[in-house]
Amino acid sequence: MDFNSIETTGLTKVYSSSFGKRKVQALTGLDLTVSAGTIFGFLGPNGAGKTTLIKLLLGITFPTSGSARILGEDISGYKIKSRIGYLPENHKYPPYLTGGEVLDFFGKLSGMEGDLLKKKIDELLELVNLSQWKKTKVKNYSKGMMQRLGLAQALLNDPELIFLDEPTDGVDPIGRKEIRDILTELKSRSKTIFLNSHLLSEVELITDRVGILNRGKLIREGTVKELTQKNEEYKLNLEGSNVDSFIKQYQDIFQISKLNNGYCNLKVSDANELNNILDKLRGEGIMVKEIVQQKNSLEEIFISLISESEKGGLK
């Protein structure tokens, strides 16, 4: 896929109070592109502007300035929404409807009808493990069941682009795994998924690219690998009788230190230095059994970037 499902240019949203006395800058000049067929994770602390971006893209709220296109079309039209699915955070369904009726209502609003809709409802309820609850009123559903019904609702029209705002909120670990599997399967069918989530460990597991937002500004964007790898730090597994003496000899020259079970930690300035050390190790008859580039967790990176941004270190 070589086109973008989402493109925003200088997208800005300022919320004003009723008499315009108080203004809140929810999003500031956001430039973002999300390629088709990928899972994009959008992260940020509460109030960073993540939900505002989704609402702008879906025409639920209107931009103060800037522009955006989804699936190649301007966001001002409503017909493009027939190709989009959305699971909002804290969604509410009419409590007097059953799970099946909720899907029937939203399916009809999405332009579906008849046997095709009925078949799709049964398929999706099966997919999210709610088949046996089809005729139960949603007021009797648990939070996790509501989330799963919400996911089914978002997939009704077989959308090309799916926005999910905290999809695993309130879902137990098994349910979360099931949702992750569904998202991975959707990606394999070339669907684009835009995922807002606080569960960074989950985002790390399934997303291709990640954007981090703070106070309405995009402070970092890249693949999970790009964001989490510590470029010049490696863990080496060494074998040889003279490993300890080697480390003692070179620990002041190279930043090498001993860990447990034959492992040591190495910090280098660049790839040349790394190769230089490897040559020296081999020259001393030490076998290098494993080299692993060290990574931060996404959570560590997230906290560090947000703290830096708060201190004004990131523009």
**Residue 201 CB burial class (10 angstroms; 0-12, 13-18, ≥19):** exposed
C-beta closer to other proteins: residue 44 or 150: 150
Per-residue DSSP letter, 132: G
Nearer to other proteins, 165 or 202 (CB): 165
| Backbone CA torsion sign across 206, 170, 213, 295 | negative
Task: Quote the least distance from Cβ 91 to other proteins, whole Å.
Answer: 5
Q: Which of 30, 38, 48, 55 binds other proteins (CB under 8 A)?
A: 55
- Dihedral sign (CA 138, 139, 144, 147): positive
Q: How far is the CB of 200 from other proteins (least distance, A)?
A: 24
Q: Which two tokens stand for residue 49?
A: 């502007």
Give the SS3 label for residue 159: coil
Smallest distance, Å, CB 302 to other proteins? Answer: 26
The β-bridge partners of 34 are 6
58 near other proteins (CB under 8 A): yes
Establish if 98 lies at the interface with other proteins (CB under 8 A): no
Torsion angles phi and psi, residue 274, rounded to 5: -60, -45
Show the tokens assigned to 39. 């899972």
| Ramachandran class of 48: left when φ > 0, alpha when ψ lies in -120 to 50, beta otherwise | alpha
Site for other proteins in 13-42 (CB under 8 A): 15
Q: Which stretch binds other proteins (CB under 8 A): 77-85, 168-176, 231-239, 278-286?
A: 77-85
User: Residue 226 and residue 220: Cα distance in Å, rounded?
Assistant: 10
* Contact set for other proteins, span 161-200 (CB under 8 A): 163
# chain residues binding other proteins, by CB under 8 A: 32
Smallest gap, in angstroms, from Cβ of residue 157 to other proteins? 8
* Choice from 92, 189, 311, 315 touching other proteins (CB under 8 A): 92
Supply the minimum distance, in Å, between the C-beta of residue 142 and other proteins.
16
For other proteins, the closer CB: 32 or 80 = 80
Considering only residues 109, 287, 291, 292, which one is a binding residue for other proteins as defined by CB under 8 A? 109
Contacts made by residues 23-32, CB under 8 angstroms, sequence distance 24+: 25/215, 25/216, 26/52, 26/216, 27/52, 27/53, 27/56, 27/216, 28/215, 28/216, 28/217, 29/66, 29/217, 30/66, 30/216, 30/217, 30/218, 31/218, 32/6, 32/7, 32/8, 32/211, 32/218, 32/221
Among 153, 192, 197, 214, binds other proteins (CB under 8 A): 153
* Contact between 57 and 133 (Cβ < 8 Å): no
Q: Which is nearer to other proteins, 146 or 306 (CB)?
A: 146
Shortest Cβ 272–other proteins spacing (Å): 53
Residue type present at position 287: M
User: If binding is defined by CB under 8 A, does position 262 make contact with other proteins?
Assistant: no
Please identify, using beta-carbon distances, which residue of 73 and 239 lies nearer to other proteins.
73
108 lies in the site for other proteins, by CB under 8 A: yes
Indicate which single residue of 37, 49, 88, 99 sits in contact with other proteins (rule: CB under 8 A).
Answer: 88
Is 105 near other proteins (CB under 8 A)? yes
Question: Which residue reads 């300022």 in tokens?
Answer: 14
Residues that bind other proteins (CB under 8 A): 15, 55, 58-62, 78-82, 84, 86, 88-97, 105-106, 108-111, 153, 163
